[in-house]
Amino acid sequence: MVLEKDEVFRIKARSMLEGLRLLWDKGYRQVELKCDNAILVKIILVGEAFDSHLMELRAIHKMIQRNWGIHIRHIPRAHNAIADFMAKHALQVSQ
């Protein structure tokens, strides 16, 4: 199965959103979030997520506006190999 770039972006955004929800629900209030998708990180940090046509980006924007300390930064994909493997494995299992 070959995924289009927009599908990969949406999957990354959904994964980030679910991670943020899980962290919030578990009571974490100081979070450092690392993401290997530079475009996703830029959209969130610049504040363009709040009026996006993607529900995931709008929801991420709402999550980061909550009362918690959250630091989001880009990391190279090579530094994120384990998370990348887990995401690919989860995608295969869900099919």
Taking the chain, what is the end-to-end CA distance rounded to the nearest angstrom? Answer: 10
Identify any residues that bridge with 7 across adjacent strands, giving them in sequence order: none
C-alpha–C-alpha distance, residues 4 and 36, integer Å: 17
| Consecutive H or E run containing 80 | none
In DSSP terms, 71 is beta-bridged to: 32
Radius of gyration of the chain (CA): 13
Please write the tens of the pLDDT for every residue from 30-68. 999 999 899 999 999 998 887 888 899 999 999 999 999
Domains of the chain, by residue range, sit at 29-94
* pLDDT score of 78: 76
The average pLDDT across 68-90 equals 81
Backbone angles phi, psi at 26, to 5 degrees: -85, -5
pLDDT at 63: 96
